[in-house]
Amino acid sequence: MTTLIVTLSSEPADAAAVYDYLLTPDGSAVAEQSRAPLALLPQLGSSGEVVALVAANKLSWHRVQLPKGSLGRRFLSDAGAPRLRAVLEGLLEDRLLDETAQLHFAIEPKPDADAPVWVAVCDRAWLRAALQALEQAGRPVSRIVPEFAPDSLGDELYVMGEPEQASLVFSSADGVTLWPLSKASVALLQWPENQPVVAEPAVAALAEQLFGRSITLQQNGQRRLQALHSAWDLAQFEMANSSGARTRKRLSDSLGSLLRAPRWRAARFALLALLLVNLAGLNAWAWREQAALKSQRAAAVEILTKTFPQVRVVIDPVLQMSKEVAALQQASGAASERDMEVMMGAFATQAPAGTTPTALEYAAGELRLKGLKLKPEDVNAIAFKLKPQAYAASAEGDAVVIRQVLAP
């Protein structure tokens, strides 16, 4: 799925604002990266999505312990969101400089109800205006991700920006901190010698000079792709889509990740191999069954033509064999299952005692016994008992009709 990552402008959204964007066809490769006004951002098809990226300087991070019961099963649903937002406002009121009503909150993905949770905070009016501007430009946002988020896997230090306005971003399990790049910041940070420093090419030389060591280069496009794969989504509370849209988006993201993400490549190969093995097995089984059927038919044809050489054209060997045997029996005078006497004898052995027909009709292997006043259950019982003898019995008015059933 093609994804357009748009970094939200720090300035108020207007038609003249220029946005940094990145276009990726699969979430791992960069197809296009540049800056453009809203109207000139790439257009996406129906299968593409637009992801808004919030820069590190637009977010503050806070860790709070929520009261028990705040994180219900549907804590971000239409019914639970207002209550959870009120709880967050009460917990963060003393930590924030701005009024809580002017701020937007977003809690970490899959929060643990028994542990402190991270809350991202930004200006609500700015975020709403930026999202509305993108929507009016025909690029509605399906997800909002932070450029950096608290990282529980280890400490990371990034140097980014331009030489005149370079910044240090420290991401760790304790949050995300932003400093201006300077000698004072480097001295205060006391970054360990064995820990790498990641820097954008524009500020790599300055970072090497201040830290006095080699720097790991990283293009800002790579950092945006890393943010794209983050589990965070700041589109919560009043910024969230409908529950149905969120569900469809999660399913789409999961399917897209399974189909394209590099980390699922081994799983995709394993699934493909499993499908190919099953397909080969089904084809082999079908080929074997067809070969067995052909062998059985060939054997039946051989028996028919050897036993009855006069049969020149074989269409249904089993049915033709039955007819030839019946004709042979009739010609030799031997009794066969199609004879009236044999059919009457079979019926007499299975019918209730004292059952006597008032009239008989026999034609073309069908025996009709009239005048029998049998109950439906009696007829069904007779039919069940005659079935192993290759006879079918059915009731037609006051008569019972018996006919031979030829094997297919």
DSSP secondary structure letter of residue 39: G
Its domain, for residue 181, covers 150-220
User: Please, what sign has the CA dihedral across residues 147, 150, 153, 155?
Assistant: positive
pLDDT, one tens digit per residue, over 73-84 is 666 665 668 888
| Boundary residue ending a domain (296, 313, 332) | 332
Considering the domain architecture, whether residues 198 and 239 belong to the same structural domain is answered as no
Under the banding of pLDDT at 50, 70 and 90, the label for residue 347 is: confident
Mean pLDDT for 350-356 is: 77
Residue 27 is predicted with a pLDDT of 86
- Are residue 113 and residue 200 in the same domain, yes or no? no
Q: How does residue 23 score in pLDDT terms, banded at 50, 70 and 90?
A: very high
For helices 340-350 and 376-386, give the axis angle rounded to 10 degrees. 120
Which of 304 and 142 is assigned the larger pLDDT? 142
Please check the confidence at residue 4 and state whether its pLDDT lies above 60: yes
User: Residue 191: which CATH number?
Assistant: 3.30.420.40
Q: Are residues 39 and 96 in the same domain?
A: yes
Classify the phi-psi angles of 69: left when phi > 0, otherwise alpha if psi is within -120 to 50, otherwise beta: left
Average pLDDT, the chain: 84
- Structure confidence by residue, pLDDT tens digits, 246-295: 445 556 656 666 666 676 778 888 888 999 999 999 999 999 999 998 88
* 308, 332, 356 - which closes a domain: 332
CATH number of the domain where residue 24 is located: 3.30.420.380
* pLDDT for res 253: 56
Domain total of the chain: 4
pLDDT at 252: 60
Is residue 7 located within the same domain as residue 77?
yes
Cβ-in-10-Å burial (0-12, 13-18, 19+) of 21 comes to buried
Residue 225: inside a domain: no
Q: Please provide residue 24's backbone torsions phi and psi, each rounded to the nearest 5 degrees.
A: -130, 135
Decide if pLDDT at 38 tops 80: yes
Residue 59: inside a domain, yes or no? yes
Q: Which two tokens stand for residue 69?
A: 């019961």
130 domain-assigned: yes
